[in-house]
Amino acid sequence: MAGTKAFLMLENFIDGKFLPCNSYIDSYDPSTGEVYCRVPDSGKEEIEAAVEAARGAFPGWSSRSPQERSRVLNQLADLLEQSLEELAQAESKDQGKTLTLARTMDIPRSVQNFRFFASSILHHTSECTQMDQLGCLHYTVRTPVGIAGLISPWNLPLYLLTWKIAPAIAAGNTVIAKPSELTSVTAWMLCKLLDKAGVPPGVVNIVFGAGPRVGEALVSHPEVPLISFTGSQPTAERITQLSAPHCKKLSLELGGKNPAIIFDDANLEECIPATVRSSFANQGEICLCTSRIFVQKSIYSEFLKKFVEATRKWKVGIPSDPSASMGALISKAHLEKVRSYIQRARAEGAQIQCGDGVDKLSLPSRNQAGYFMLPTVITDIKDDSCCMKEEIFGPVTCVVPFDSEEEVIKRANSVKYGLAATVWSSNVGRIHRVAKKLQSGLVWTNCWLVRELNLPFGGMKSSGIGREGAKDSYDFFTEIKTITIKH
């Protein structure tokens, strides 16, 4: 390692203090392929310290009124908003996404997460029933669970970390969060604002490092009764195994293989730009991205021609370029994995209509080693191909024709995932019918990624367990108790 180069050195945040670590992991700038940051390589020892801090802070924080906790969340939202530009710059550099996206989506949504749960925590009601003949009254109360273990992914770092921290602390829990070791910078920046917002020491502890070491230590700790995880299915399997002996509460959000179904009466002027965005936004690194596009046969040729033209205009550029629609992928290993799917599709006889290996990507000389690739459209591919079944999590989408409504529902449901789907049609009856039959936790019709945070978010089948949202997150982060009073 070049001794002359100064790296950004992150520290764990435990009990309201920044603490150095014995060893570190290199973190790369995806747009250059160079190390620019060092992330603590934490383990059991750091988790023990975080558990002790969270345990100590729990009685005080959980006994505060919802109004007091709400005030703290709102103050934290205000501080994040004041640092929006600084956070957006950091998120873009760390993750590879465009600065435009970080400015308009990631950081504003992180602010909104705190404001939303600061408000929703004030509006929950409990149930009460009477049994007059027995002289009994029954009612429910909800209480915080204790220490919440929160594990967030690298694709929307601050956005998904705050989506977990906000409801957990709003409900009165204390937390130990582990962000992805690939994208830890904005989580570290968040720590600097906690004290100023009035978050007491030990309420939010952030421990950095890799899943197999620090993630496993957190998940298997007997004093962490609930785990909220967003990430891959193999990791979720491991979390489930480690949690089983302790009967932990689990919320698992595990990605998808999301279909877009485009009927012959779809408005293509709206549908095409929206489907380009749903396929390639954030480099295709969103669990909700479209990766299978089913187009009714009579409009297939027209759709494909226009879709490929629009995809070629989806500019790949350095993250700071305001005209770029897409930045760099997260890592060299991930870029190679995504490219391997395209190679396998080629080997199966599929056609690559545009993108990787077909069109030329031009980048500035200092970004030649960055993890960039062009958005790629694949056709002439079978439903049983790995590209149609497995989550690629990159800027790759497959376009295939279909004949009937019944057929396309069956094909859309033929994968192990069931997170999100989009349906394009101007027939309202058909939209309701198809939406009901799709095995999918979310169905958008004639739009994509319009989120209502009050309503449940989550997937069916291998896309996860549980839901997140105003009521669902509150239910997850609290325990319910039924109390019977005989009078």
| Distance separating the N- and C-terminal Cα atoms of the chain | 74
As given in the structure block, the two tokens for residue 246 are 């302790």
The residue type of 9 is M
In the three-class reduction of DSSP (H, G, I as helix; E, B as strand; rest coil), residue 13 is classed as strand
Is the distance from CB of 104 to CB of 92 less than 8 angstroms?
no
Is the distance from CB of 183 to CB of 159 less than 8 angstroms?
no
In the three-class reduction of DSSP (H, G, I as helix; E, B as strand; rest coil), residue 138 is classed as strand
Nearest to 59 by CA among 185, 205, 172: 172
Assign 3-state DSSP to the chain and report helix, strand, coil percentages, each to 5.
40, 25, 35
Give the Cα separation of 227 and 234 in Å (integer).
16
Is the distance from CB of 356 to CB of 17 less than 8 angstroms?
no
Four-residue CA torsion sign, 65, 66, 68, 73: positive
52 is catalytic: no
DSSP code for 315:
-
Query: Secondary structure of 367-394 in the HEC alphabet?
Result: HCCCCCCCCEEEECCCCCCHHHHCCCCC
Cα-Cα-Cα-Cα dihedral of 422, 395, 157, 70, to 10°?
-20
Give the Cα separation of 451 and 200 in Å (integer).
31
Q: Which alpha helices (DSSP H) does 26-126 contain, by range? A: 44-62, 66-82, 84-95, 99-101, 107-120
**How many angstroms separate the Cα of 41 from the Cα of each of 9, 23, 161, 232?**
12, 5, 19, 21
Give the Cα separation of 268 and 290 in Å (integer).
16
As given in the structure block, the two tokens for residue 232 are 């891959």
- Based on its alpha-carbon atoms, the radius of gyration of the chain, rounded to whole angstroms, reads 23
CA angle (223 as vertex; 110, 147 as ends), nearest 5 = 25
Name the active-site residue from 46, 91, 181, 253: 253
In the three-class reduction of DSSP (H, G, I as helix; E, B as strand; rest coil), residue 465 is classed as strand
If 0-12 CB within 10 Å is exposed, 13-18 middle and 19+ buried, where does residue 380 land? middle
DSSP bridge pairs for 322: none
Which residues are catalytically annotated? 253
